[in-house]
Structure 1
């Protein structure tokens, strides 16, 4: 007969590092992961904003040059 398997307690995985944790309703295993993810998102948003501003700047320059 098969040996009984040990059940794994209910847990979640950190959305930053993937580590399993049991604590509460959070999405991160620690404040360090939460802060690091927040910093990465801020950097990513800033890069995206810079790309959009550059694209708009290029389009404005193209329109101005096109009217000359």
Structure 2
């Protein structure tokens, strides 16, 4: 999956700070690499592809937002 073309703020305007963009892009690549490795490992160990995809989606859905008092979105 390609990284987003821009990173929107809550008001819809894009993040323009070069340092923030660098960190966001590095984080995007790291998360993508880790998720791909975990997914591939699960497949090689015989885990159901459908199950693993659902668990990864559940993991994202359960992330707590620092803006939301630590509650999942």
TM-score (norm 1): 0.47
Larger RCO: 1 or 2 (CA < 8 Å, sep 6+): 1
Hey, which of these two has a bigger chunk of strand by percent? 1
Hey, which of these two has a bigger chunk of helix by percent? 2
